[in-house]
């Protein structure tokens, strides 16, 4: 590979890549990057931080050849390069690990690793050679994988290792990692950091995109902060605090830890008893779950993704049928009810998949806000939809939830992730919910939007006595926002902590990985009646 020489000529600590005055404007007129400057040195881990919609992902897509910028140039080892496609980026030694892995689940590790430059013997695929290459690169970088294992049998952390190795096998010298820790447990994150530091020692450059400021502080050498599509600053990590970084990201002081009063729970509102659910393969996603939530409290659910949380949320929302067991809202079973009936019982749902379920991308903000209530009498006038009223109510909500948009008639697809989630929240939080099911409500959104959503959730608890079930992969958020926490592992509740103040991420991590399980009596405490 010819460009390895180019990289060899650069000394460790010198600029290896610089992006100058990058401007990217999308087809809908949204300016994602404005004159962004960004440099990476050889042998550093460079944090790229900013709110959602600040342009981090766009900048990385430009670097990886997925988007072509309107202005600006990219220099690699001092020479201007034209990166027109991901293949070209790989040729130049730039590799990206996406947040959602680009792996073929049914193929083996080795087959995935060589995808794009498959070895052949005659006209057939040379599997042995693929395995050999995979083993070689795995040994070279001291990242252990079994080349013959099928991807679908691997854990999330393992898959990520495969992704990184795949890029290294293709000759990447600069690795772009888009929120690599979002899907990992604390233990897996630690392991990843060890691996990344090893790569840094070997002279690789790593761009680390993250929302988690403690991680950025922990692993990065330098950071670049983006705000509203512009590069605000580049600084040595040692010289800034987490509070400084968040201030630079948002442009004002942010409460990283939300202040809240102690919960004052009332009677049970949501009661789940012996609930089980089988997926389409006939396997139990979760089995025999029982728990209660009382009015005015937030029950957090911790767990590694894929341990039944997602199915549980969908059953509660009425999207999946109740097969076995029962769910009661205010003492009435919701078994067999339609989604509308369940919502009329006072259920509100923030779905984890906001682009598919939570919002309708090609409809306006106002149309998204009324989707659960348009048929009610207060939104109608003589049988017709009262658009005038809806527009004025939508404008109020846009202000109240500080949604950044062209107006109430802007299509949701034109908004940034954080603002889309605010639209979802503006609907779900204003239906006077008795029960709120919040699934990953702040995943992938910026600190400012996350702060707003958490505050609103606590306000619902305090002012409307809402009983909230909070699913979150962000343990800091869970510990900070919940009043009580349960842990789900293998489709079962394995721990119940009535007092959040006495636990930490490490303790949760042990239960999340299934290393520990509480006794029946302890877990039974979550059933209050």
Partner 1 sequence: MNKTHKVITTKQIETRFSIIRTLLAVAIALVFAFFLMATVSDNILKDFTTLLIGPLASSSRMTTVISKMIPLLFTGVAVALVYSAGQINIAAEGAFFAGAVAATVVALIEGIPAPIHIILTLLAGAITGAIVMGIPAIMHVKYNVVTIVSALMMNYVALYGGLYVILNPLRDPSAGFEASFSFQRSAILPTLFGNNRLHIGLLIGFAVVILSSILLYNRPFGYEIRTVGQNQKFANYSGISVNKTIVLTSLLSGAIAGMGGTVETLGNYSRFVYSGFTNHGWDGIMLAVLCRNNPKAIPFAALFLAYIKTSADALNLTSSIPPEIISVIQAIIIIFIAAERFLANWEHKKIVANSQRALAIEKGE
Q: List residues near partner 1 by CB under 8 A.
A: 25, 27-31, 34, 70, 317, 319, 338-340, 342-343, 349, 351, 356-363, 367, 370-372, 374-375, 380, 383-385, 387, 406, 414
**Smallest separation, CB 349 to partner 1 (Å):** 7
Query: Which of 156, 142, 157 lies closest to 195, judged by CA?
Result: 142
Residue with Cβ nearer partner 1 (23 or 234): 23
| β-strands 435-439, 467-471 pairing | parallel
What is each CA distance from 288 to 323, 493, 495, in whole angstroms? Answer: 11, 9, 14
SS3 content of the chain, % helix, strand, coil (to 5): 35, 25, 40
Residue with Cβ nearer partner 1 (234 or 360): 360
Within 13 Å and on the Cβ side, how many CA atoms surround 428? Answer: 27
Query: Which of 324, 333, 334, 331 lies closest to 289, judged by CA?
Result: 324
DSSP string, 349-389: EE-S-IIIII--TTSBHHHHHTTTTTTSGGGEETTEE-HHH
> Which two three-digit tokens encode residue 199?
């790569």
Rounded CA separation 316/508 (Å): 24
Residue with Cβ nearer partner 1 (437 or 478): 437
Residue with Cβ nearer partner 1 (182 or 317): 317
Residue with Cβ nearer partner 1 (281 or 384): 384
**Smallest separation, CB 351 to partner 1 (Å):** 6
Residue with Cβ nearer partner 1 (187 or 360): 360
b/e for 453-490, b at 16 or more Cβ within 10 A?
bbebbbebbeeebbbbbbbbbbbebbbbbbbbbbbbbe
Within 13 Å and on the Cβ side, how many CA atoms surround 107? Answer: 14
> 308 with 286: CB under 8 angstroms?
yes
**Smallest separation, CB 254 to partner 1 (Å):** 24
Residue with Cβ nearer partner 1 (42 or 427): 427
Residue with Cβ nearer partner 1 (282 or 383): 383
> 434 with 330: CB under 8 angstroms?
yes
Contacts with 380 (C-beta within 8 Å, 6 or more apart), sequence order: 386
Residue with Cβ nearer partner 1 (192 or 420): 420
Residue with Cβ nearer partner 1 (246 or 314): 314
**Smallest separation, CB 384 to partner 1 (Å):** 5
**Smallest separation, CB 90 to partner 1 (Å):** 27
Bridge partners, residue 225, by sequence:
49, 233
| β-strands 222-227, 205-209 pairing | unpaired
Query: Which of 301, 164, 234 lies closest to 19, judged by CA?
Result: 234
Query: Which of 194, 193, 168 lies closest to 4, judged by CA?
Result: 168
**Smallest separation, CB 246 to partner 1 (Å):** 25
Query: Which of 481, 433, 426, 425 lies closest to 460, judged by CA?
Result: 433
Bridge partners, residue 174, by sequence:
94, 205
Reading phi first (left if > 0) and then psi (alpha if -120 to 50, else beta), residue 120 is in: beta
Rounded CA separation 51/225 (Å): 9
Rounded CA separation 481/41 (Å): 38
Which strands form 94-97's sheet, in the order they lie side by side?
94-97, 174-178, 205-209, 45-50, 222-227, 230-236
**Smallest separation, CB 27 to partner 1 (Å):** 6
**Smallest separation, CB 417 to partner 1 (Å):** 16
**Smallest separation, CB 58 to partner 1 (Å):** 14
**Smallest separation, CB 286 to partner 1 (Å):** 20
Query: Which of 84, 90, 85 lies closest to 115, judged by CA?
Result: 90
DSSP type of residue 239: G
Residue with Cβ nearer partner 1 (97 or 439): 439
**Smallest separation, CB 443 to partner 1 (Å):** 17
Q: How many CB atoms lie within 10 A of CB 324?
A: 12
**Smallest separation, CB 444 to partner 1 (Å):** 18
**Smallest separation, CB 491 to partner 1 (Å):** 23
């Amino acid at each position: 590979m010819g460009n390895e020489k180019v990289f060899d000529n650069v000394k460790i600590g010198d600029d290896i890549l610089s992006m100058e005055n990058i401007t990217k404007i999308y087809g809908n007129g949204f300016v994602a990057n404005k004159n962004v400057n960004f440099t990476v040195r050889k042998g550093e881990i460079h944090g790229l931080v900013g709110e959602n919609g600040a342009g981090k992902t766009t900048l990385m897509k430009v670097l990886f050849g997925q988007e072509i910028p309107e202005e600006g140039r990219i220099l690699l080892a001092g020479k201007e390069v034209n990166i027109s496609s991901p293949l070209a980026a790989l040729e130049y030694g730039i590799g990206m690990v996406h947040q959602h892995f680009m792996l073929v689940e049914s193929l083996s590790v080795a087959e995935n690793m060589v995808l794009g430059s498959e070895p052949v013997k005659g006209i057939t695929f040379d599997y042995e050679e693929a395995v050999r290459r995979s083993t070689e690169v795995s040994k070279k970088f001291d990242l252990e994988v079994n080349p013959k294992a099928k991807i679908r049998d691997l854990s999330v952390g393992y898959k990520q290792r495969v992704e990184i190795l795949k890029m290294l096998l293709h000759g990447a010298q600069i690795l772009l990692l888009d929120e690599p820790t979002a899907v990992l447990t604390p233990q897996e994150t630690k392991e990843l950091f060890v691996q990344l530091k090893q790569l840094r020692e070997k002279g690789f450059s790593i761009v680390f995109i993250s929302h988690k400021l403690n991680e950025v502080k922990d692993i990065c050498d330098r950071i670049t902060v983006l705000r509203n599509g512009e590069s605000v600053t580049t600084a040595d990590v040692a010289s800034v605090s987490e509070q400084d970084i968040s201030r630079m990201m948002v442009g004002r002081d942010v409460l990283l830890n939300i202040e809240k009063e102690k919960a004052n729970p009332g009677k049970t509102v949501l009661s789940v008893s012996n609930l089980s659910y089988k997926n389409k393969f006939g396997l139990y996603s979760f089995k025999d779950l029982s728990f209660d939530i009382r009015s005015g409290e937030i029950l957090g659910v911790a767990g590694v993704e894929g341990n039944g949380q997602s199915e549980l949320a969908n059953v509660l929302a009425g999207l999946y049928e109740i097969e076995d067991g029962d769910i009661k809202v205010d003492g009435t079973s919701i078994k067999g009810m339609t989604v509308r009936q369940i919502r009329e019982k006072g259920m509100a749902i923030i779905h984890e998949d906001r682009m598919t379920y939570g919002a309708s991308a090609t409809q306006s903000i106002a149309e998204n806000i009324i989707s659960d209530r348009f048929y009610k009498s207060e939104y109608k006038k003589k049988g017709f939809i009262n658009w005038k009223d809806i527009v004025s109510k939508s404008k109020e909500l846009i202000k109240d939830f500080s949604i950044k948009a062209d107006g109430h008639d802007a299509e949701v697809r034109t908004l940034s992730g954080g603002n889309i989630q605010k639209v979802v929240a503006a609907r779900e939080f204003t239906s006077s919910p008795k029960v709120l099911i919040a699934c990953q409500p702040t995943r992938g959104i910026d600190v400012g939007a996350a702060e707003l959503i958490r505050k609103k959730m606590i306000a619902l608890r305090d002012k409307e006595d809402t009983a909230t079930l909070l699913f979150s992969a962000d343990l800091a958020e869970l510990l900070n926002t919940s009043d009580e926490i349960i842990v789900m592992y293998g489709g079962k509740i394995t721990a119940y902590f009535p007092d959040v103040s006495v636990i930490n991420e490490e303790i949760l991590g042990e239960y999340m990985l299934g290393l520990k399980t509480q006794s029946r009596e302890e877990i039974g405490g979550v059933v209050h009646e």
